[in-house]
Amino acid sequence: MKCNDYSLTYQGKKNKEEILIEPTFSLIELTKIELNKNDNWFNKIIWGDNIDALRNLITAFRNSVTLVYIDPPFATNETFKNRFQNHAYNDLLTGAEYIEFIRERLILLKELLSDNGSIYVHLDNKMIFEIKIIMDEIFGSDNFRNCITRKKCNRKNYTKNQYGNISDYILFYTKTSNYVWNRPSDKWSEEDVLREFPCIEESTGRRFKKVPIHAPGIRNGETGKPWKGLMPPSGKHWQYTPAKLDELDNKGEIYWSPNGNPRRKHYYDEKNALPVQDIWLDFKDITNQNTVMTGYPTEKNAFLIDRIIEASSNENDLVLDCFSGSGTTVARAEHLNRKWISIDIGLLSIKTTIQRLTEGSRSLKDIFEKNEPTLFPINDNPERLKHNCEILYVSNMEKEGILDLQDYLNLKEEIYPLAYAM
């Protein structure tokens, strides 16, 4: 990793050695859901402060996590409730205290990442710039891959004298330059196909567009020579050698205009996948009445998480989210057959994640109309637990009401016997 010649200075910034210490508290197992006795791996839902949970995990999982996605508090100075007005979490750290809170966790997460691993950090415009510098320090600016802009909502009727804010950001870093990458692609819309590939080849019916076969700059070699008696336009050269151009022409892949200008044919059927770029417009927060959600505040779009998981991990790889909220990352990891670890400090988050993985999410209509929730048949829940899972807590949570969680799990065991009894 190349060392940067810049860093962020603020009060209370600790040495790395003060952060990478042995855990103060331990992880205690509360219950295990064993769905497959032949599999000795258990996915993990951990209740507690992620600083302690991560320090504990480092012993067993150093260099083992292929993908980290985190969506931490954004320094909004607000408290958040779910759709039923239950307290979810506080987001009260700001300034240097916030930066150091995130930095400590990032330093621990780097220890857990495998050499081919990636980390995605979701933030908004409040702290993205500060955390970008912190991530450059920790992961190296040469391991910075993208700052993805996500459209989070539709156009708003903004009353402030500034531009409406409809975006947030995801910083994408890798641990090294050799990382898991399954290039994601978009499909062309019908409208775009018609616009981009307006020509149809008479003999085959294939759609194509015409592109120049010359490029700027004079060349003295083969590509500067005449082809079929034609010189490249002045100041330009052929993109291919005359021999290659002959080959393309013989295959019918050169279009000749009525006045004898050659162009290359680019066929739609050879280019039907569009590599995804760094502005994502299709993963807005959930607002559509037809979708399902948990009702947890700031729940992220499941398909946004699918894209990240599919691009930066393979089946059976380990995915970790230590600000798990409603459990979107791990529910999608379960759906996509990845191993996973979920950590959150909030009891509501733990309950919501368990509910999501057993009963499923609810229809938004039920939530808005305060109806009794529609219970989806367990087998219809795409995020339903299919693999073994254990629920753990950080030992200092005992005083915070572990009994409450135990009661909840007992209740679940009665209500969702299917998910527990297979």
H-type alpha helices, 85-220: 95-112, 128-139, 190-196
Contact region with ligand SAM (CB under 6 A), list: 178-186, 205-213, 293-301, 411-419: 293-301
CB 206 to ligand SAM: min, Å: 43
CB 308 to ligand SAM: min, Å: 11
Contact region with ligand SAM (CB under 6 A), list: 130-138, 204-212, 266-274, 325-333: 325-333
DSSP characters over 116-131: EEEEEEEE-TTTHHHH
Distance CA 336, CA 370 (A): 31
The widest CA-to-CA distance across the chain, in whole angstroms, is 87
DSSP characters over 241-306: -HHHHHHHHHTT-EEE-TTS-EEEEEEGGGS-EEEP-SEE-S-PPS--TTSEE---TTPPPHHHHH
Residue 334 interacting with ligand SAM (CB under 6 A)? no
Residue 313 interacting with ligand SAM (CB under 6 A)? no
Closest to ligand SAM by CB, 140 or 297: 297
Binding test (CB under 6 A) with ligand SAM, winner from 45, 49, 75, 150 = 49
Residue 89 interacting with ligand SAM (CB under 6 A)? yes
Closest to ligand SAM by CB, 232 or 325: 325
Binding test (CB under 6 A) with ligand SAM, winner from 328, 355, 361, 363 = 328
Residue 300 interacting with ligand SAM (CB under 6 A)? yes
Residue 355 interacting with ligand SAM (CB under 6 A)? no
Distance CA 245, CA 307 (A): 39
Residue 361 interacting with ligand SAM (CB under 6 A)? no
Helices and strands (H and E) in the chain: how many: 12, 22
**Which residues make beta-bridge pairs with 377?**
none
Report 120-179 residues binding ligand SAM (CB under 6 A).
none
For residues 45 and 51, the answer to whether their CB atoms sit within 8 Å is no
Contact region with ligand SAM (CB under 6 A), list: 37-45, 109-117, 292-300, 385-393: 292-300
Distance CA 343, CA 336 (A): 19
Residue 56 interacting with ligand SAM (CB under 6 A)? no
Residue 255 interacting with ligand SAM (CB under 6 A)? no
Interhelix angle for 95-112 vs 128-139, to 10°?
40
Contact region with ligand SAM (CB under 6 A), list: 68-76, 275-283, 363-371, 403-411: 68-76
CB 29 to ligand SAM: min, Å: 18
Structure tokens belonging to residue 3: 């060392």
Closest to ligand SAM by CB, 245 or 319: 319
Residue 258's CB is within 10 A of a number of other CB atoms, namely 5
Residue 50 interacting with ligand SAM (CB under 6 A)? yes
Residue 82 interacting with ligand SAM (CB under 6 A)? no
Residue 54: in which H helix or E strand, if any? helix 50-61
Residue 71 interacting with ligand SAM (CB under 6 A)? yes
CB 349 to ligand SAM: min, Å: 4
Structure tokens belonging to residue 22: 């042995």
Residue 125's CB is within 10 A of a number of other CB atoms, namely 11
Residue 104 interacting with ligand SAM (CB under 6 A)? no
Binding test (CB under 6 A) with ligand SAM, winner from 82, 298, 361, 381 = 298
How many residues touch ligand SAM under the rule CB under 6 A: the total is 20
Residue 343 interacting with ligand SAM (CB under 6 A)? yes
For residues 297 and 82, the answer to whether their CB atoms sit within 8 Å is yes
CB 395 to ligand SAM: min, Å: 15
Residue 326 interacting with ligand SAM (CB under 6 A)? yes
Integer-rounded Cα radius of gyration of the chain: 27
H-type alpha helices, 141-211: 190-196
| Residues that bind ligand SAM in the complex, under the rule CB under 6 A | 49-50, 71-73, 89, 296, 298-300, 322-323, 325-326, 328, 343-346, 349
